[in-house]
């Protein structure tokens, strides 16, 4: 071969090698500057404005394929930048220049509209400054959020609890008390007072109620043990929001259902609860004309184990699945749209190829809610 041929060959290899290297650095590596969707292994989720309080640690894996960071230096690498409602400030935003078109800016909240407005630190008019495309996605408990991060879901609950006849026998045999309520907020707002007066009427109608916290004259401020909680038949899952769309919190899922108590729901819209909860797993205050009628019904259940036991049918039946619960719900309530299990932030982001912008957080999160919801805060 001629020397010229060697040089040409070497040149081709070098150019090819460089191209591969550049391709790898830019597109395919974990830290790709321009991520290539099909090949990227790890998504980076930057919490630019995290909420106060305990947070998952830096570097923690989120939903398998993503890693969490709070380090703003990672902005360029981040695939998702999350802003919590409590910490977002117009003077403290990422520099626009760094924003890649694939990068998703996400508005995150877990609170009711009233609480969000209270904690926001900006006026709704200032929040309007984020209209027309600052955010790409919302992450809330609402079923139509881009990323649904709700407090609970029937299928997840079913996976976490004991099931079968003997499990339910066991639950019933531990019951020594009728009902409990746990709260420290009784007279801070119109809503808290309205809620407390409902509970007071239940008590005055003869319901045997143990109150934890410092409401209704109780001084029982120590958190009850799990065993103590489980000894009650009913848990008053009274939210600190009234008729706020889909706002069903840990009071319902964790405090009541995961502690083997039947939730008595006040605040959420009944249809919203039906759409996420196991069928016949809760009692809703809206089904009763008065607190006295409800108290009467709870006392009736207290004396009739068979009737009380019906509220555990969803876990007594060992063949129960998420799909079966949805099927039963549709049979009994054809008009209710049953919620399905949703993908988390990471799963959604890793699959995303679409383009979206949020025209207005104010319209999407506050205006669309019923008026009643924000009135009582």
Ligand X SMILES: *[C@@H]1O[C@H](CO)[C@@H](O)[C@H](O)[C@H]1NC(C)=O
From the CB of 357, what's the least distance to ligand X, in Å?
4
Per-position b or e across 354-374, b if 16+ CB within 10 A of its CB: eeeebebbbebbbeebeeebb
Shorter beta-carbon distance to ligand X: residue 2 or 101 = 101
- Between CA 45 and CA 69 the distance in angstroms is 6
Sole binder of ligand X in the list 61, 118, 293, 356 (CB under 6 A): 356
Shorter beta-carbon distance to ligand X: residue 104 or 298 = 104
From the CB of 190, what's the least distance to ligand X, in Å?
13
Q: Which of residues 92-131 bind ligand X (CB under 6 A)?
A: 101-102, 104
The pair of structure tokens assigned to 242 is 């009234």
Shorter beta-carbon distance to ligand X: residue 44 or 298 = 44
Shorter beta-carbon distance to ligand X: residue 187 or 319 = 187
Measured from the Cβ of residue 28, the count of other Cβ atoms closer than 10 Å reads: 15
From the CB of 219, what's the least distance to ligand X, in Å?
9
Shorter beta-carbon distance to ligand X: residue 52 or 353 = 353
- Give the interface size with ligand X as a residue count (CB under 6 A): 12
Sole binder of ligand X in the list 9, 25, 89, 357 (CB under 6 A): 357
- Between CA 257 and CA 302 the distance in angstroms is 17
From the CB of 221, what's the least distance to ligand X, in Å?
11
From the CB of 144, what's the least distance to ligand X, in Å?
17
- The pairing of strands 232-238 and 262-266 is parallel
Sheet-wide strand order for 209-212: 209-212, 177-182, 232-238, 262-266, 283-284
Q: Is 186 in the site for ligand X (CB under 6 A)?
A: yes
Task: List C-alpha distances in Å: 5 to 1, 10, 15, 18, 315.
Answer: 6, 9, 15, 20, 77
Q: Is 133 in the site for ligand X (CB under 6 A)?
A: yes
The SS3 of residue 104 is: strand
Sole binder of ligand X in the list 187, 221, 227, 319 (CB under 6 A): 187
Please give the backbone phi and psi of residue 232, each rounded to the nearest 5 degrees, phi first.
Answer: -95, 150
180 contact partners, CB below 8 Å, separation of at least 6: 209, 210, 211, 212, 224, 229, 232, 234, 235, 236, 261
From the CB of 134, what's the least distance to ligand X, in Å?
7
Shorter beta-carbon distance to ligand X: residue 174 or 213 = 213
> Mask 255-294, x = binds ligand X (CB under 6 A)?
----------------------------------------
Bridge partners (DSSP) listed for residue 265: 237, 284
From the CB of 314, what's the least distance to ligand X, in Å?
36
Shorter beta-carbon distance to ligand X: residue 4 or 219 = 219
Q: Is 214 in the site for ligand X (CB under 6 A)?
A: yes
From the CB of 372, what's the least distance to ligand X, in Å?
24
The SS3 of residue 68 is: strand
Q: Is 136 in the site for ligand X (CB under 6 A)?
A: yes
Shorter beta-carbon distance to ligand X: residue 23 or 359 = 359
What's the number of CA atoms in the CB half-sphere (13 Å) around residue 172? 21
Q: Is 355 in the site for ligand X (CB under 6 A)?
A: yes
> Mask 138-177, x = binds ligand X (CB under 6 A)?
----------------------------------------
Please give the backbone phi and psi of residue 296, each rounded to the nearest 5 degrees, phi first.
Answer: -60, -45
Label residue 19 left, alpha or beta by phi (over 0 means left) and psi (-120 to 50 means alpha): alpha
> Mask 37-66, x = binds ligand X (CB under 6 A)?
------------------------------
67 contacts 42 by C-beta, under 8 angstroms: yes
From the CB of 49, what's the least distance to ligand X, in Å?
17
From the CB of 313, what's the least distance to ligand X, in Å?
38
106 contact partners, CB below 8 Å, separation of at least 6: 80, 81, 82, 83, 135, 136, 137, 138, 139, 146, 147, 345
Residues that bind ligand X (CB under 6 A): 101-102, 104, 133, 136, 186-187, 214-215, 355-357
């Amino acid at each position: 071969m001629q020397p010229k041929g060697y040089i040409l060959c070497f040149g081709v290899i070098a150019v090819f090698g460089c191209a591969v290297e550049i391709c790898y650095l830019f597109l395919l590596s974990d830290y790709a500057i321009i991520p290539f969707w099909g090949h990227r292994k790890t998504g980076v989720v930057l919490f630019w404005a995290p909420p106060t309080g305990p947070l998952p640690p830096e570097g923690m894996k989120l939903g398998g394929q993503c890693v969490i960071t709070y380090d703003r230096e990672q902005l360029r690498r981040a695939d998702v930048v999350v802003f919590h409602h409590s910490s977002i400030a117009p003077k403290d935003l990422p520099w626009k220049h760094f924003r890649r078109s694939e990068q998703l800016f996400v508005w995150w909240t877990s609170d009711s509209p009233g609480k969000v407005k209270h904690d926001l630190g900006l006026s709704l008019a200032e929040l309007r400054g984020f209209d027309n495309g600052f955010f790409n996605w919302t992450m809330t408990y609402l079923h139509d959020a881009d990323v649904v991060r709700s407090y609970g879901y029937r299928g997840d609950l079913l996976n976490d609890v004991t099931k079968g006849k003997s499990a339910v026998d066991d639950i019933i045999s531990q019951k020594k008390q009728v009902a409990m309520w746990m709260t420290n907020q009784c007279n801070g707002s119109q809503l808290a007072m309205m809620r407390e007066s409902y509970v007071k009427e239940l008590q005055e109608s003869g319901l045997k109620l143990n109150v934890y916290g410092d409401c209704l004259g109780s001084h029982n401020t120590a958190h009850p043990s799990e065993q103590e909680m489980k000894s009650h038949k009913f848990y008053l899952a009274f939210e600190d929001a009234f008729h706020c769309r889909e706002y069903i919190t840990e009071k319902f899922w964790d405090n009541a259902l995961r502690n083997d108590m039947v939730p008595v729901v006040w605040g959420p819209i009944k249809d919203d609860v039906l759409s996420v909860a196991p069928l016949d797993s809760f009692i809703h205050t809206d089904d009763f004309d008065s607190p006295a009628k409800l108290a009467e019904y709870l006392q009736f259940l207290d004396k009739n184990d068979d009737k009380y036991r019906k509220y555990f049918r969803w876990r007594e039946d060992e063949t129960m699945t998420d799909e079966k619960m949805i099927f039963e719900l549709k049979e009994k309530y054809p008009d209710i749209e049953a919620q399905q299990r949703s993908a988390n932030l990471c799963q959604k982001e890793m699959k995303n190829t679409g383009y979206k912008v949020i025209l207005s957080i104010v319209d999407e999160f506050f205006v669309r809610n019923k008026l009643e919801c924000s009135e009582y805060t």
